[in-house]
Amino acid sequence: MANRKGVFIGAYVPNQLKEALQQRAKAEHRTLSQEITRILEEAIKGRRLPPGFIDRRGDNSGPRRRQTDPLPRRRDGDVPYLPTDQSSGDD
């Protein structure tokens, strides 16, 4: 008998669901058990980052690109940033 880490959770599911899970697991090169574990982890903890992706940004950091980025950082074909005039009362 294999030495497994974790506990066994048994569940009866429709055969169609089992087959769909097996196909998805096979497409992702995982076992059925690994796929079910991944789905349960995402349901509890939320989606994981893609493999090899490290998010080094802080919790309070803004978006990576804003319309206010200085022009040298923008692409050549971009439309220039035109701030909206908040001070005019022309309505």
What is the helix, strand, coil percentage profile of the chain, to 5?
35, 0, 65
Answer yes or no: is pLDDT of 24 > 80.
Answer: yes
**pLDDT, tens digit (0-9, with 9 covering 90-100), for 25-73:** 999 899 999 999 888 888 888 877 666 676 676 777 666 665 565 556 5
- Which residue, 35, 40, 41, 5, is CA-closest to 18? 35
Yes or no: say if 71 and 80 are a contact pair by the CB < 8 Å rule: yes
- The residue with tokens 């804003």 is 66
